[in-house]
Amino acid sequence: MRAAAVATAPGRLCLAGESLDWMTGGSSVVATIPLRTKVTAWRAPGNALTLLSGSPLFVNRLIPAEQVAEGKYSGDQLDYMQAAVRVTLKTADQIAGTVLTATTDMPVAAGLSSSAAVTVAAVTALSAMNGTSPDLATICRLSRAAETGELGSGAGWMDYVAVAFGGVSHVTAGDRPGARGIAPTLGVPVVIVDTLQPRTTMRALSSKRERYAAGDASMHAYARQAADLVDSVTTALGQQHVDYRLVGRLLTTGHGLLRDLVRCSTPLIDECVARMINAGALGAKLSGSGYGGCLFALVPDEALNSVLQALVGLPVHTHVLPASEPEGVAVTRLAAPAPQRANSA
């Protein structure tokens, strides 16, 4: 029987607590965004796994099912999709004939967790294709096993939990992936600025890991101060009437910690943050692992024009999001087509 499923997963902004999950087992605060990755999985007769990605960055591939089952990777961009197949389908028989396509609205490798979005969506679509519907914690476990276990990239639970659960949430770290929902959405529009400065999470992480493990005083100071900030942001966002001026100030404070202690900002990111705040943004910070990629700002409607004008002339791409995204991973199992009737004439 032919079976197919489509899953979508959002990108995420990190509001506070980048890196705490893997550094100290600490929590973070995240919000998902309405820029989503869509993965379709289906099975047709054949011996290979077919990976198709709509992104101009990626070259489509056909990989023998045995090679996937053995865990052999080629080191290219589609390894994330391949790893999701391996942790979900396991045997060569199950893998043979699987076709996986991915398209995305979000900048890739730029701090919005495109890798967790594609992995979570792929694990979910492949499970549904096989007739199973794992709970969100299981989807997070499989996705982390794909990125971290298979590819040696990825970090703690933050990205998988953010993308799978959706909304504005306090992500708890530790052994069990979990999130405490704070609110469905942020009550202020968000402007995301992609600096187009290339970076990869893997490289960013290895330098931070080395410094933290070597006892670097700035990294340890960051870990302490960021944990306090996570508490303050969680409390501020949990109020019945949220004071977004306060939330904005806390975000900017978080950016300062990343810039001065972790030292993972760039002059262009700092320039965008400063210009947006001077033009009326409530607060701004980089998102994700830094060293390039995206920053974001909370911008009330009345300041939107001046904030966008302040960015004119900078080599950046800007996304204006009227609201953040309440929905985490979502899946639809497509009905198998009815069998063709033999023509009796």
Ligand X SMILES: C[C@@](O)(CCO)CC(=O)[O-]
Ligand Y SMILES: Nc1ncnc2c1ncn2[C@@H]1O[C@H](COP(=O)(O)OP(=O)(O)OP(=O)(O)O)[C@@H](O)[C@H]1O
Which spans of this chain sit near ligand X (rule: CB under 6 A)? 18-19, 113, 155, 158-159, 201, 204-205, 208, 288-289
The nearer residue to ligand X, 124 or 143, going by C-beta atoms, is 143
The nearer residue to ligand X, 150 or 159, going by C-beta atoms, is 159
The helix/strand count (H/E) of the chain reads as 13, 12
Torsion-angle region of 73 (φ positive above 0: left; ψ -120 to 50: alpha; else: beta):
beta
Beta bridge partners of residue 33, listed in sequence order: 11
Is 37 an interacting residue with respect to ligand Y (CB under 6 A)? yes
CA dihedral 72→74→76→78, nearest 10 degrees, is -40
If we measure between CA atoms, which residue out of 300, 307, 319 comes closest to residue 272? 307
Query: Site map for ligand Y, 68-97, x if CB under 6 A?
Result: ---------xx-xx----------------
Single out the residue of 32, 53, 169, 324 in contact with ligand Y (rule: CB under 6 A).
53
Is 192 an interacting residue with respect to ligand Y (CB under 6 A)? no
Is 158 an interacting residue with respect to ligand Y (CB under 6 A)? no
- Residue 154 CB, nearest distance to ligand X (Å)? 7
The nearer residue to ligand X, 159 or 194, going by C-beta atoms, is 159
Distance of CA 243 to the CA centre of its chain: 26
- Residue 289 CB, nearest distance to ligand X (Å)? 3
Residue 19 interacts with which of ligand Y, ligand X, none, CB < 5 to 8 Å by class: ligand X
Q: Are 120 and 331 in contact (CB under 8 A)?
A: no
Residue 205 interacts with which of ligand Y, ligand X, none, CB < 5 to 8 Å by class: ligand X
Beta bridge partners of residue 320, listed in sequence order: 191
Is 17 an interacting residue with respect to ligand Y (CB under 6 A)? no
- How many residues bind ligand Y (CB under 6 A)? The answer is 23
Question: Each residue of 165-177: b (16+ CB within 10 Å) or e?
Answer: bbbbbbbbbeeeb
Strands 190-194 and 61-64 come out as unpaired
What values do phi and psi take at 42, rounded to 5? Answer: -150, 165
Residue 104 interacts with which of ligand Y, ligand X, none, CB < 5 to 8 Å by class: ligand Y
- Residue 111 CB, nearest distance to ligand X (Å)? 8
What DSSP assignment string belongs to 252-284?
HHHHHHIIIII----HHHHHHHHHHHHTT-SEE
Tell me the residue type at 47: N
Single out the residue of 58, 92, 94, 300 in contact with ligand Y (rule: CB under 6 A).
58
Is 289 an interacting residue with respect to ligand Y (CB under 6 A)? yes
Strand order in the sheet with 317-321: 283-286, 294-298, 190-194, 317-321
- Residue 80 CB, nearest distance to ligand X (Å)? 12
Residue 173 interacts with which of ligand Y, ligand X, none, CB < 5 to 8 Å by class: none
Query: Site map for ligand Y, 102-141, x if CB under 6 A?
Result: x-x---xxxxxxxx--x-----------------------
The nearer residue to ligand Y, 120 or 236, going by C-beta atoms, is 120
CA gap 67, 264 in Å, rounded: 37
The nearer residue to ligand Y, 55 or 138, going by C-beta atoms, is 55
Residue 42 interacts with which of ligand Y, ligand X, none, CB < 5 to 8 Å by class: none
CA gap 29, 237 in Å, rounded: 10
- Chain residues binding ligand Y by CB under 6 A are 37, 53, 55, 58, 77-78, 80-81, 102, 104, 108-115, 118, 200-201, 288-289
